Chains A and B, each alone.
Chain A
Amino acid sequence: NAGVTQTPKFQVLKTGQSMTLQCAQDMNHEYMSWYRQDPGMGLRLIHYSVGAGITDQGEVPNGYNVSRSTTEDFPLRLLSAAPSQTSVYFCASSRLESGELFFGEGSRLTVL
């Protein structure tokens, strides 16, 4: 049982480049979400999904797109990377009935 799997673990981009952070969960959780973690800021919610085909914006959605075509996958897209998007990104999933979040190991992104 892998839980929540994120790829890649590390990525360096140049300003203006695009990329996709992948997230997959094998627990059949309804909810999935993306957070970013910056020093001293805790975690901030970017986007989330309550089920396949349904997504919504979180606290800091600008510059990011998401889609949820299957229950298992929830990719996060950066269309035109900016230095302000340098951060550690965490994907999480949870069951509808439970508030407990299960986190991936994180993806560290540097935008030059």
Chain B
Amino acid sequence: SQQGEEDPQALSIQEGENATMNCSYKTSINNLQWYRQNSGRGLVHLILIRSNEREKHSGRLRVTLDTSKKSSSLLITASRAADTASYFCATPLYNAGNMLTFGGGTRLMVKP
């Protein structure tokens, strides 16, 4: 069963606006990751945040993690049309090494 669930399922914004996607998960984790998938392509790793971190930045990306609420958010600032993609959160599968379980994703459309 899926551990993470993204919200919203779809998001449409104008170029230059900020996009916020949320992820909720069910069990305790030691890290949470965000991935991006362009249409018809494989997933690409964006950022990993560990359970002892509350916030992490990478370029225009800002990820937060609230372990007490079992939730994370991904903020993309000053969005561009090229940011149009699906975004997935992923958490470690119990007792399966580095394997991950993924949520259903948020489809982001950035209009020029």
Chain A residues within 8 Å of B, Cβ to Cβ: 4, 31, 33, 35, 40-45, 48, 50, 56, 58-59, 90, 92, 94, 96, 98-106
Using CB atoms, name the residue of chain A closest to B104: A42
Contact of A59 (CB < 8 Å), options: B35, B41, B42, B101: B101
A10 to chain B, nearest CB (A): 11
Interface size on B, residues (CB 8 A): 27
Chain B residues within 8 Å of A, Cβ to Cβ: 1-2, 4, 31, 33, 35, 40-45, 48, 88, 90, 92-93, 96-105
Complexed CA–CA distance, A29 and B102 (Å): 21
Complexed CA–CA distance, A106 and B43 (Å): 9
Using CB atoms, name the residue of chain A closest to B97: A50
Query: Assuming the A-B contacts A42-B88, A43-B88, are A101 and B41 also in contact, with contact meaning beta carbons closer than 8 angstroms in the complex?
Result: no
Complexed CA–CA distance, A92 and B93 (Å): 15
Q: Contact at A58–B98, with CB atoms within 8 Å?
A: no
A23 to chain B, nearest CB (A): 11
Q: Contact at B31–A99, with CB atoms within 8 Å?
A: yes
Complexed CA–CA distance, A42 and B99 (Å): 14
